[in-house]
Amino acid sequence: MRILVIEDERKVAEFVARGLRDQRFAVDVVNDGQAGWEMASTCNYDLVILDLMLPGLNGLEILKRIRRRGSQVPVLVLTARAETAEKVANFEAGADDYLTKPFAFDELLVRVKALLRRGSPERASLVRIGDLEIDRQKQQARRAGKRIELTPKEYSLLEYLAAHAGRVISRTMIIEHVWDESFQGLTNIVDVYVRHLRSKVDDPHPIKLIRTVRGVGYSISDEGET
Ligand code: CA
């Protein structure tokens, strides 16, 4: 899950980003409106956290532009202003939720999780693929009832593949959703991580769930190969 934070108060931006990264989200931060709009319009985010008062381009204008291009990405608006009129304008422009500063991180997290669930109704907390079970609440995976020890990145990769089970996912899609903008390497990092994931998820079992689609990417499904 990749989140864009557009917030010019660096302390707030860092506080939000740090907390979300601890929760295993991939987070990009920008501190001005113009850059924020550019990021929002060029990358494929799962959620945008948007401050209203921004240098360059204000939050309301960014929100309108996001919706004008037809994007349904959930947008959580942050603001110091609590006036009702402002709130109405933001909801009308397409904000999904609203948080008035200052806020506790836990409050933000509850809203972020709720918006991400709303964005994808199929997002069940327990995902089963054959004898593989992924518990999104606990961020744990089991196969044949046995716990698989995964690093945070391996877990995120597995969860992302599993959320699109049966579909072929390209390396670029994986990079966009599992890594964040600070990642400057090559897409073959994905191959390295998939190899690690396979050694843990598939190697000990006769049926292989993770499949390579040559020249395209990867797919996970219970119609695996033996
Ligand atoms: Ca601001």
Q: Are 219 and 169 in contact (CB under 8 A)?
A: yes
Residues, Cβ < 5 Å to ion ligand 1 = 8, 51, 53
The pLDDT value given to residue 120: 57
CA 68–ligand 1 middle distance (angstroms): 23
- Asked which of 25-34, 123-132, 177-186 is least confident by mean pLDDT, the reply is 177-186
Mean per-residue pLDDT, 140-152: 94
Mean per-residue pLDDT, 10-37: 95
pLDDT digits (tens, 9 = 90+) for 56-83: 999 999 999 999 888 889 999 998 766 6
Range from 113-117, 137-141, 153-157 that averages highest in pLDDT: 153-157
CA 79–ligand 1 middle distance (angstroms): 7
Mean per-residue pLDDT, 171-199: 84
> Is the whole model's pTM more than 0.85, yes or no?
no
Distance CA 10, CA 89 (A): 25
CA 156–ligand 1 middle distance (angstroms): 31
CA 80–ligand 1 middle distance (angstroms): 8
- Asked which of 146-155, 162-171, 202-211 is least confident by mean pLDDT, the reply is 162-171
CA 86–ligand 1 middle distance (angstroms): 15
Name residues whose C-beta falls within 8 Å of residue 12's C-beta, 6 or more positions apart in sequence. Answer: 51, 78, 101
For the chain, the domains span 2-118, 126-225
pLDDT at 224 exceeding the cut of 90:
no
CA 179–ligand 1 middle distance (angstroms): 26
* CATH number for domain 2-118, candidates 3.40.50.2300, 1.10.357.10, 3.90.1300.10, 3.40.50.720: 3.40.50.2300
- Looking at CATH, the fold of the domain delimited by 126-225 is given as Arc Repressor Mutant, subunit A (1.10.10)
CATH topology match: 2-118 vs 126-225: no
CA 100–ligand 1 middle distance (angstroms): 12
Q: With 0-12 CB in 10 A as exposed, 13-18 as middle and 19+ as buried, what is 192?
A: exposed
pLDDT at 226 exceeding the cut of 70:
no
CA 63–ligand 1 middle distance (angstroms): 15
What beta strand segments (E) does 64-194 contain?
A: 75-79, 97-100, 126-129, 132-135, 140-143, 146-148, 169-170
Distance CA 118, CA 31 (A): 27
Distance CA 128, CA 142 (A): 10
CA 52–ligand 1 middle distance (angstroms): 6
The pLDDT value given to residue 94: 85
The pLDDT value given to residue 154: 94
Q: Which of 14, 31, 29, 97 is nearest to 63 (CA)?
A: 97
**Mean pLDDT for the chain overall:** 88
pLDDT at 171 exceeding the cut of 80:
yes
CA 53–ligand 1 middle distance (angstroms): 4
CA 88–ligand 1 middle distance (angstroms): 19
Question: What tokens does 56 get?
Answer: 């360059």
Which amino acid, 63?
L
Q: Are 62 and 40 in contact (CB under 8 A)?
A: yes
Distance CA 196, CA 190 (A): 10
The pLDDT value given to residue 124: 63
Q: Which of 151, 152, 178, 197 is nearest to 23 (CA)?
A: 152
Provide, rounded to the nearest whole percent, the portion of the chain with pLDDT above 90.
58
CA 183–ligand 1 middle distance (angstroms): 26
The pLDDT value given to residue 225: 61
- Asked which of 172-176, 178-182, 200-204 is least confident by mean pLDDT, the reply is 178-182
Mean per-residue pLDDT, 11-40: 95
